[in-house]
Every structure is written in structure tokens, then in C-alpha cells.
Structure 1
Amino acid sequence: MGRALKFFAAFFFTAVIIFGSILFLNWQPFTVFFENRDAMVEGSEWVEETYSLQGLSRYIEQNPEHVSFVSKVMVPADSTIRYGEDIRRPMGTTSNLFILIAGAAGIENGDFNPDTRIQWSSISSHQLPDVNQSEHEQSFRAADRRGWIQDGEITLDHAMKLLAEYNDLALSDYLWWNIGPERWDALSQTLQLEQTDLPLPFSGLYMTLSPGLRQMEADEIYRIESEKETADFRSLVIDFSERFLHEDDFRDSVRTYTREKRLGNTFMEERDGLGLFPKTTAREMTDILEQIASENLISPGVSNQVMEWLRWPMEQQSGITRDFSDYGAIYDHRMGLLTGIDIGTSAYTGDTTVQAVFFDRIQIAFWFHMSSNHMHQDFQQRMIFDPAMIIQMQQVADRAGNGSATVLSDE
């Protein structure tokens, strides 16, 4: 009996040590899951329903408050599918399109040289710890593997290609600052934008919506910032980003906090906070893409340069040439937000289609499902070459009044 008790005590003690060690090593993921346990089931009823794109079309039809898209075949001109096309939604990193445009325009007028070499460490200085940091690391590894990193430097041309493919937030911020804040108002006027905000530094945006860094509740931040004039909000975001770059004490405090607690918000709070990000409409974004495809955006040279940077899928996505003779895109996924813009020429019909797709404020469990399976990317590509998908979404749009679903903007 005594021997059995000793054995049980040793077994129990060992089990406690092992369990405690596992819990200690995984404490942060455990607490993240615990704090977001309600979010992790939000929209879960849609997961089993949407393993097919047919199921995704049902989600779109039954959740018009979360989705906008325009898919336009350039010839014939009236072959367009619209759905919630005039609702302003956050762009996420599809706003990097405007960095590409500004960069291409600067190269054409001689302000920038595509062969200018950039220190990668200067790019990394814009990175907020644990805020999409994996994309920054992946983009470096990809550039290094392709031979684009030489002596710790990358050319401006390769940096632009990398930006379109990886949506590296630190790279986006570096290019935003080096293009120059003063250029953005001029670009907005050049492009005659009416519903589209110009990009902002992502470091500043994420610091702005961080309850931990601002020592405010998430809903209070959203209320205060959403009521501000656009110019005042932009100034705040730019100021946060500039302080992170140039004020050592502020930078150290931000880095210490984000390493320990990231932004200090829940999944739902972060998703809702993305409503503060620069916005556009599917209609206006598609108009810009159409100008690029027809070589009418600023000039043929600028249009062709932007398209060349967007073409990364033709080199990096396996099997894409089966369905496309030409294809360029920017995709994004961040909490509760899936967006994408693309220009593609079907290998079957030769038709060129331009598209802008926005899934906004979607349920967290469903977002994880869509994001992990790259469903919005597959959806966009099939909307160009798959007749069954095109017909199905045309029917969805027709039932909604050709995109005029009764949905209110958050503006």
C-alpha cells in the first residue's frame, strides 16, 4: 500500500510539473484564447457552410452589411457585377496601391531612381513588435532567397514588388515616409479621388487604436477618433508614427508594451478598430484599376510600372498560368477584414477584368476560416475565369438590386 502511494505521489507530482511547464511555456497563447473565447465562436455557424465557393456566395447574399465588390470586364463595357459598391470600407493594405502609384509617378518625373538602394535595417525600424511581424520576416526571407538583398540593402524597384506581394507594414511605412507626406494631397487631386482616403503609416494607425498604449477603452478610442475631422485624425496618426521613429523614450516604451501585450485589445476590439483605417469604395477603387489596365492612370509609363509591380502572382503562384495570361493583385487579411484588388486576363476568353473586393467587420471565427483557406483570393480569381462562379455572383447581385443592397456606411 505504501509503495502504491509513493508511486501515485511521484506520478502526480511529475504530471503537475509537466502540465505546469506546458502551461507556462504556452501562457500567452492560452490567455489570448481565454480573453477571446466568445470571439472564437462568432460566426462559427458559417464555417461548415462555406467550404465551397457556392457556400461563400450564400454568405455574401445573407450578409450584405459585411461585403462589397465590383467585378468589371473591360470589354464589353456593360459586363459589370456590383454589390454594395458605394459603401466606404477600410482598405487595409490594398491602400499600398497608392504607394505604388506615387512611386511610379516619382520614377517617371525623375524624383526617384528604381535602382536606389535601401538599408533593410531602416525598413525594420518601422516595425511594431508582434504586429504583423511575421510578414516582415517572410518578406525579408523571400527577398534574400531571390538575391534581392545585397549587403543588407534592397533596391527601390524590388521593394515595391515585395510590398505588393507581402503587404509588409514596416516596408509600407518606410516607403510612405520616403515618398513624403506632402505628396499625398497632390496625388489625391491628380487621381480626382472623391470617396478614397490616402494611405497612412500603419505603425501610427495601430498605435492609435491600441487601448494599452493610449490608456483608454477601445470603444472610447473609436468614438473619439471617428468623430474627428479627417485632417485632425491624419495628423494624430502621423504624429504617433513620427514619434516612434525619432523619440527614443517613446519608441522604447511602445516596443516594451507591444512585446508583452501586443496592442492590449481583444480580437473583436481590433476588428472594430480597423474601421478607423483609410477607406474607399469598391466602385472608385475599380475605376482606378481600370485606368491602370487601359494605361490611362497619369501616363502609360506610370500605369505599366504599377502593373509590373502587381504581377507578382504570375511569378510566385504555382499553376496560375493555366487560368490567366496576365494577372496582378494585392490581397490583405487582418482581424475581421479581408480585401483584395486585381487585374486579370482570362487564359480562356482573353477578356480583362478589374475587381475590388472587401469583406469588412466579419465574424471572427468565420474570418479565421476564410483567412486560413485563402478563400477571398480564390473567390476573386474565379470571378475572372470561372463561368459558374460569375453567373452565381451575378444572380446574387441581381437579387440585391445589382448591388444596391440596403446597407448603411459607418460614415
Structure 2
Amino acid sequence: MKRAFKFLAVFLTAAIAVYIMVVGLNYSAFKTLFQNAEGMAEGSEYVENTYSLKDLTRFIAEKPVYVYVMSYNVNQPDSGIFYQVDIPHTLGFMGSIFLVAEYERQVADGILDPGEVVNKDEIQQYALPQIYQNAHNGAMEVLTADDGTFTLDEAVSAMLEYQSLPVFDYLWFRLGEDNIRTMMADFELEHTEMPVPFSGLYLVISPILPNGGDQSGDAAQHFESLGQFSRDQLQQMVIDRASDQNLLNRSKEIIEKDRLGLTFMEERTALNFFPQTTARELTSVMEIIYKDELISEEVSKAIKEKMRWSFDSEPIQRSFSDYGAIYDNRMGLLSGFDFGTSIYDGHTSIQAVFFDKLPIAFWHHMSANHMQEDYQQRLIWDPALYETTLNMINNESTKTGN
């Protein structure tokens, strides 16, 4: 009993810390947290797998329904870890790579001025209260730290580092839907859907917002209704919602009070309506960029430079001579894709690692210490972790006959 109480206390502390970090600190956020007792217990039997990277690799091998990993040496592309790489899963913030690619193309072509001063209000119009608000606040604090003004290029960099959804949406509309579609067509991707504005996504998945639904508050009924639409129709619905400033403003008042009207588990389930991708296709995008083969060497190098925000930290520099990444962290989803050159043997790897639709308790614990980022980084420079992951996956596949 004492051990169980200790576990619960540690879990609640971690859960509260993560929720404050991701959502923000206010009464409504705490109310939402404590109304999700069932979700906070979901997957608690897996939490011990977050205590070490070896335990995490065991979870990866034993629970393939949640994990997708592709990791390989760019000079030996046929040899690596290829785990669930062709199964569609949530694109999430990884879609920002296509926006950054189109942004750098337009900068190179003289269409956009990276030194243009951005009106903060044009970004804030897409900011939904309690929807990963803390991450966006961090971006805005950095951007406005000096004299309160910032440039378009600084906004794009902050978007990647802080996973700012409002900056993402602002950039999406600045670039233009047709241009983003054209950029994605250049990659010839079969399973990767176009990223769409996050503000529109969250308006669409909520059963309580005035988005054209019945506002019944019944998530199951709402999701069933959304399931009747084609992926193209859903995509257009999301874009329309994000384009409607009056709707955004009316929705913000409701979200401030009741967030999305979804439990943690329902919000995780709603990832089904987000754009999808595969690990193989995302790594193919990264390889094209890494080899300076996207549009021009200038554009490719500029994209990689934006991704190198993560290389500024001392722990990264102890293990890498070069590193760039994009990460994502939202309810039930932890993902990232990166390139990195090991400081120990000089090899360069490209990776995509997705933990998708995770049990909520497990997600909370992994989020608390950024464990997925540590795992992904070490997969490049730590041969022991790489071999352990590969062996556990192969052994589990042998046992199950897959």
C-alpha cells in the first residue's frame, strides 16, 4: 500500500508538471487535469518502461501499435532500423518541415523578406487559450525580449524551437495553400498529407465549439460525424475554420472556460483526424534536404540551419559535431525527426521516431523528462542503445512470427 501511494504521488506530481508545461497554469487547466482521473491511470502498467532507455526499448519492441522508428546511416541507407515505417500515423508538428522548406524557397526567390517586422497581433489571432499555450508563450517571450519587435525569420526559428502552433498557422497563411501543395508535390509523397492550420484542427475536433456541428458535447457522436467526411473534406473544413476570424474569436471564449470539451483520451483519439504521414516518407524528405537536393543548395542549407536550434545545448555538443531536429509533444503523441553526426565515429544518421496515440499515463511520464528526445539522440551516437533496440525488435518479431 505504501509503495502504491508513493507511485501515485510521484505520478500526480509528474502529471501536473507536464500539464502546466504544455498547457499553462490556470484554474481551468487544473480543473481539466483532475477531471481526467481515468485517463491519468490509462497505461500505468507501462510506466516502469520510462525509468530507463533499456526499458523503453523493451516497450518499443513489445508494443508496435504505438511506435514507428526509422534510423539509418546516410552512407549505408540499406542498413538500419526500419520498424513500422510504412504504417500511417500522426504528422503533427513534423509538418512544419514543409512550411520551412516553402518559406526558404520564397526567401531565395525574393518573394518574402526575412527581415520584415512581424505584427504580433497577426500571430496572436491564431492563439487558442489552453491549447499548448505555454509553448507559444515561451516563443513570444523570446521574440519580444529586446524591444518588443521581431522579424519574420526570427518568428520561423522560434516556431521550430518552441513548437508554436500560432506561429505555424500564421506562416501557413503567409505562404499560401497552393504554394504549400506545390512544395509537397515536389517530394512525390504517397502517404503524407498536407499540414493544415492547428487552430482549425482543434476547432473541428471539439464537440462544444460553434463549428457547424450540433455542439452536443458528445465526443463519440461528434467523432462519428467527422468520420463521414473524406480526408479532403476534413482538410478543407479545417482550413475554413482557421480562416474565419469571427469563429476563432467566439471559440476562444468557450475554450477559455472549458478547453475543447474533450477528455485526455478523447483528445488523443482525435489525432485520427490530423494529417498523417509515415516514418519512411519523412526520412526521405530529410535525406533530400540533408544532401542539399531540395530546389537548390542554398534552400537546403537554410532549412538545416533552422533545424540546428537544438545544437546550441552543451549536452548535444558533447555527442554530436552536427545536429538538427524538429520535435512534437501533444496529448498522446511524442515524435521527432532529425539528422546528426556522431562526434565519436563521424557517421551521420537520419531518423524519424514516433510514439503515437500513447496511453495517457505513459505519455505523461515520457513527457516529463523528454525521454523520447534523449532516446532519439542517443540512437545516433550510442551503438549499445542502437544494437539493443535492433535486437529487441528482432527478437520480439521472431516470437510473434512477424
Question: Is the TM value for this pair above 0.5?
Answer: yes
- Give aligned-pair identity as a percent: 39
Amino acid at match of 1:156: L
Between the aligned partners of 2:157 and 2:249, the Cα distance in structure 1 is: 31
Asked if 1:119 is matched to 2:116, the reply is: no
Equivalent in the alignment of 1:41 = 41
- Determine the structure 1 residue equivalent to 2:10: none
Give the aligned residue type for 2:39: A
Give the Cα–Cα distance (whole angstroms) in 2 for the partners of residues 333 and 155 of structure 1. Answer: 26
SS in 2 for 1:342: strand
Match for residue 52 of structure 1? 52
* Equivalent in 288, 291, 298 of residue 285 of structure 2: 288
Deviation string, structure 1 residues 135-154 (Cα, Å, up to 9, x no partner): 11101112234x4xx4x432
Give the gaps of 5 or more residues in structure 1. 1-24, 407-411
* Structure-2 residue corresponding to 1:299: 296
Distance change (3 Å), C-alpha of 1:192 and 1:29:
closer
- One-letter identity of the residue aligned with 1:399: N
- Is the CA contact 2:66–2:358 (under 8 Å) kept in the aligned structure 1? yes
Shift of 1:395: 1.2
In 2, the alpha carbon distance for the partners of 1:378 and 1:276 equals: 28
In structure 2, what is the Cα distance between the partners aligned to 1:28 and 1:114? Answer: 38
The letter of the residue matching 1:236 is: M
Checking the alignment, whether the CA contact within 8 Å between 1:64 and 1:405 is kept in structure 2 is no
- The Cα shift of 1:319 comes to 2.3
**How many angstroms does 1:397 deviate by?**
3.3
Structure 2, unmatched stretches of 5+, are 1-24
Asked whether the 8 Å contact 1:82–1:397 carries over to 2, the reply is no
Contact 1:211/1:263 (8 A) holds in 2: yes
- How far off its partner does 1:185 sit? 2.1
Equivalent position amino acid for 1:275 in 2: N
* Other-structure match for 1:64: 64
Q: Cα offset for 1:225?
A: 2.5
The C-alpha deviation readout for 1:346-384, integer Å capped at 9, x for no partner, is 111111111111111110001000001101000100000
Q: Deviations over 1:281-310 (max 9, x none)?
A: 000000111111111122211110100000
In structure 2, C-alpha distance between the alignment counterparts of 1:186 and 1:252, rounded to whole Å: 31
CA change 1:130–1:28 in 2 (3 A) is: closer
1:270 matched to 2:271:
no
Partner of 1:90: 90
Q: What residue is the counterpart of 1:220 in the other structure?
A: 221
What root-mean-square deviation, in Å, do the aligned CA atoms of Structure 1 and Structure 2 show? 1.9
**Is 2:67–2:84's contact at 8 Å kept on the other side of the alignment?**
yes
Whole-angstrom distance in 1 between the partners of 2:81 and 2:53: 17
Distance in 2, matches of 1:82 and 1:379, equals 16
State how many pairs are aligned: 372
1:104 CA drift (Å)? 1.0
Is the Cα–Cα contact under 8 Å of residues 271 and 336 in structure 1 kept in the other structure?
yes
Structure 1, residues 215-234: CA drift from partner, whole Å, max 9, x if none? 14222332332342222111
Displacement of 1:49 in angstroms is 3.2
Q: Deviations over 1:47-74 (max 9, x none)?
A: 2232100000111111100110100110
Q: Which residue of 2 aligns with 1:17?
A: none
CA 1:227 to 1:343, structure 2 compared with 1: closer, same or farther past 3 Å? farther
Task: Quickly say closer, same or farther: Cα 1:239–1:396, change in 2 above 3 A.
Answer: same
Alignment of 1:113-192 (within 5 A): 113-145=113-145, 147=146, 150=147, 152-192=148-188
Contact 2:157 2:306 in 1 (8 A): yes
Instruction: Judge conservation of contact 1:327–1:343 (CA < 8 Å) in 2.
Output: yes
Distance in 2, Cα, partners of 1:396 & 1:212? 44
Contact 2:197 2:242 in 1 (8 A): yes
Map of 1:15 onto structure 2: none
Distance in 1 (CA, whole Å) between partners of 2:368 and 2:190 is 34
Distance 2:104 2:268 in 1: 32
SS at the partner of 1:343?
strand
Q: Which has the larger radius of gyration?
A: 1
| Residues 84, 405 of structure 1: 8 Å contact kept | no
2:373 counterpart of 1:372: no
- The match for 1:13 is none
Deviation at 1:164, TM superposition (A): 1.2
Residue of structure 2 in register with 1:18 after alignment: none
Question: What is the distance in 2 between the residues matched to 1:281 and 1:102?
Answer: 20
Aligned equivalents of 1:405 and 1:318: distance in 2?
43
Q: TM-score, normalised by structure 1?
A: 0.86
Which residue pairs with 2:241 in the alignment?
A: 240
User: Cα deviations across residues 197-217 of structure 1 (Å, max 9, x unaligned)?
Assistant: 111000000000111114142
Structure 2 letter corresponding to 1:140? M
Deviation at 1:34, TM superposition (A): 4.0
Give the Å deviation of 1:82. Answer: 0.8
What is the distance in 1 between the residues matched to 2:68 and 2:75? 22
Match of 1:351 among 337, 347, 354: 347
Task: For 1:74, give the aligned amino acid.
Answer: V
Match for residue 255 of structure 2 among 244, 252, 258: 258
- Matched letter for residue 51 of structure 1: Y
* Matched residue SS, 2:284: helix
Q: Closer, same or farther in 2 for the Cα pair 1:183/1:26, shift >3 Å?
A: closer
Aligned to 1:81: 81
SS of structure 2 residue aligned to 1:77? strand
Is the aligned partner of 1:328 residue 2:324?
A: yes
In the other structure, the counterpart of 1:337 is: 333
Give the distance between the partners of 1:238 and 1:341, measured in 2 at CA.
26
Please tell me the residue identity of whatever aligns with 2:237: L
Per the alignment, residue 4 of structure 1 pairs with: none
Letter matched to residue 284 of structure 2: D
Structure 1 residues 49 and 190, CA gap change in structure 2 (3 angstroms): closer
Q: Which residue of 1 aligns with 2:305?
A: 308
